[in-house]
Structure 1
Amino acid sequence: MRFRHRRVAAAAALAAAAVFGLPACSAVLGGEESLVDADSLTVGVKSDQPGLGLETEAGSGEFEGFDVDVALYIAERLGVAPENVDFVAVTSAEREEKLISGEVDMVVATYSITPARRTQVTFGGPYYVAKQDVLVRADATGIQGVRDLEGLSVCQGAGSNSAARITEGLGIPVEEVEGETYSDCIERLSSGRVDAVSTDNLILAGFLAQSPGAFRFVNNPFTDEKYGVGLPYGDIEACEAVNNAISRMYQEGDATEMLDRWFGETDLEMVYSVPQFEGCD
């Protein structure tokens, strides 16, 4: 892909900046190209999160979900036709690496905007502000709020700090259980090996929609998770274009349609208004 060559050069510039003590942003911003000039895009998405980013069949390279729809909408607003958008699977740990190396041009993968990540990635958005919540079995009537989890087992995906937000952030002692992925956590919940799963409510809603009647939301959300569009570091022009696209997506009702398509059958309390953007500088 034509645009990828610039990304590799940008990664080399970052490495050179580190060696010679130059500011990383000046090394990258010296280039004139931007994602807004691209005629094709490679987008990193999750492959194992129903409703958000899910590979429809193992090895097929076909993905579906809210994040996929958002990426296609943004690409179209950037002038890239759907047939010129390639999707590749990324894990949480790979997102920065694949952007910096040029393996992907954009990441739309439940990618929370954080100060640490903004030192390596320019974020558009957020395109949605999720909140951490709790999923329990449908028959767990004794759990009506997050404080009812005291002394119970709560599963989180590997590398996540969701359970720590309960124990350390809220001061509620729970037994922290780590699954390989959130799919693993859901299997443990279904079989009764853990009492609850906690993470972003959009992620939980996807699993809820996949198994109607098996689980329910506690609907006692806490913390904000601002899902950003990961872009090459320093590509301010692309960031501004992405923000304009996200604004239109909400104002013209497309975001509402997408959210209802993937999560409308759940009891998730969704937000249909334009999120407050973080800024592109």
Structure 2
Amino acid sequence: MKLRKVTAASAVLLALSVAATACGGDKDDKGSGGGKKITIGIKFDQPGIGQKTPKGYSGFDVEVATYVAEKLGYKEDQIEWTESKSADRETMLQRGDVDFIVASYSITPERQKSVDFAGPYLLAHQDVLVRADDTSIKSAQDLNKARLCSVTGSTSALNVKEKLAPKAQLQKYPTYSACLTGLQNKAIDALTTDDSILAGYASQSQFKGKFKLGGLKMTNENYGIGVKKGSDLKDKINKALEAMVSDGSWQKAVDKNLGPAGYKNEPAPKIGDIKS
């Protein structure tokens, strides 16, 4: 009888052990898709890059993020998108609010102190957007005679005035969309920020054919995918990015989201190759 009782007790313990192991198997493993969901930070308000619409999410960054998630083992319906505003990105990664961030996120030495970056996956440049029929702005110096849109909270126009065109007339507008309206109405002559962002705005159906990029390449902006400091996701994401380039998906995503504005992209950057 004693032997039977011990055997029965052992069976109960074994069953509990198996159940505990099974429950442990539900724990998210972001590197293999073992978890049910993966949380990705994107921009919600950048057409062509990352935008939330009534039909869902769209843009180049969204397509990059979706491809990477798939390579990590997650289907599109397993992705939880969350808005990553520029000022919140490092904090969101440090707190673990997101697994990674794809949000026109330039790799800089200062940011690398707080978070790690996979990539870069796109080399963008600060540029200007002008009206399609404008032939007066061919260099940064030409902006000395221009009314340049300055978006509240953006440093792009200020950088141009301080470093390249001190006589540029800064015109303050609340949003990039408002700048585009001003550009269309000839209230301003140029809008400046990253060329990829400008291309995204100009690719919207209501603006197609009305604007063009200046091609000035005033800075290098190395877009990376942000991850928590020390995360093993960095290497896995890098492999996914290499696959996206090699199978042609990267170029298709660029052409689809930024091409309508005549965006001439740089070749896909090599992993770890950060242009200063």
In the other structure, the counterpart of 2:4 is none
Please give the per-residue CA displacement for 1:68-122, whole angstroms capped at 9, x wherever unaligned: 0000011111112211111122221121222222222211110111111112111
Residue number in structure 2 paired with 1:65: 59
Q: Which one is further off, 64-73 or 99-108?
A: 99-108
Q: Contact 2:123 / 2:269 at 8 angstroms: preserved in 1?
A: no
Q: Determine the structure 2 residue equivalent to 1:52.
A: 49
The question of whether the paired residues in 1 share the 8 Å contact of 2:245 and 2:268 is answered with yes
Indicate the residue corresponding to 1:125 in structure 2. 119
Q: TM-score, normalised by structure 1?
A: 0.80
Q: Which of these residues, 69, 77, 81, is aligned with residue 87 of structure 1?
A: 81
Alignment partner for residue 270 of structure 1, among 265, 271, 275?
265
1:202 correspondence with 2:196: yes
| 1:187 has 2:181 as partner | yes
Tell me if the contact between 1:137 and 1:189 (Cα under 8 Å) persists in the aligned partners: yes
**What corresponds to 2:234 in structure 1?**
239
Instruction: Return the match for 1:260 from 255, 260, 263.
Output: 255
| Counterpart secondary structure, 1:36 | coil
Shift of 1:266: 2.4
Residue 225 of structure 2 corresponds to 229
Q: Is the 8 A contact 1:128 1:275 kept in 2?
A: no
2:213 corresponds to 1:213: no
Structure 1 range deviating more: 88-97 or 226-235: 88-97
Query: SS of 2:203's equivalent?
Result: helix
C-alpha contact (below 8 Å) 2:102/2:225 kept by paired residues: yes
Question: SS in structure 1 opposite 2:216?
Answer: coil
Q: Distance in 2 between matches of 1:157 and 1:94?
A: 19
Residue 248 (1) aligns with residue 243 (2): yes
Instruction: Note the C-alpha offset of 1:163.
Output: 1.6
Unaligned runs of 5+ in 2: 1-27
Q: TM-score, normalised by structure 2?
A: 0.81
Shift of 1:45: 0.9
Q: Deviation per CA, 1:40-86, whole angstroms, max 9, x where unpaired?
A: 211111111111111112xx7x2101000000011111112211111
Q: Which residue of 2 aligns with 1:167?
A: 161
Q: Does 1:150 align with 2:133?
A: no
Go from structure 1 to structure 2 and tell me whether the alpha carbon gap of 1:188 and 1:171 turns closer, same or farther (over 3 Å shift): closer
Cα displacement (A) at 1:207: 1.5
Q: Please say if residues 143 and 165 of structure 2, whose CA atoms lie closer than 8 Å, have aligned partners that are also in contact.
A: no
Deviation of 1:229 (Å):
0.4
How big is the alpha-carbon RMSD for the aligned residues of Structure 1 and Structure 2? Answer: 2.0
What's the CA shift string for 1:208-250, capped at 9, x where partnerless? 2111121111122221101110111211x21111111111111
- Letter aligned with residue 111 of structure 1: Y
Asked whether the equivalents of residues 211 and 261 of structure 2 are also in contact (C-alpha less than 8 Å), the reply is: no
Deviation at 1:172, TM superposition (A): 4.2
1:8 corresponds to: none
Which residue in 1 is equivalent to 2:101? 107
Query: Could you list the runs of 5+ residues in structure 1 that have no partner in the other structure?
Result: 1-32
**2:31: which partner in 1?**
36
- Provide the C-alpha distance between the structure 2 equivalents of 1:128 and 1:34, rounded to a whole number of angstroms: 27
Report if the CA contact (8 A) 1:250-1:274 is conserved.
Answer: no
Task: State the distance in 2 between where 1:179 and 1:134 align.
Answer: 16
Counterpart selection for 1:78 from 57, 72, 77: 72
Q: Using the alignment, how far apart are the partners of 1:170 and 1:138 within structure 2? A: 23
Q: Which has the greater radius of gyration?
A: 2
Question: 1:171 Cα deviation (Å)?
Answer: 4.8
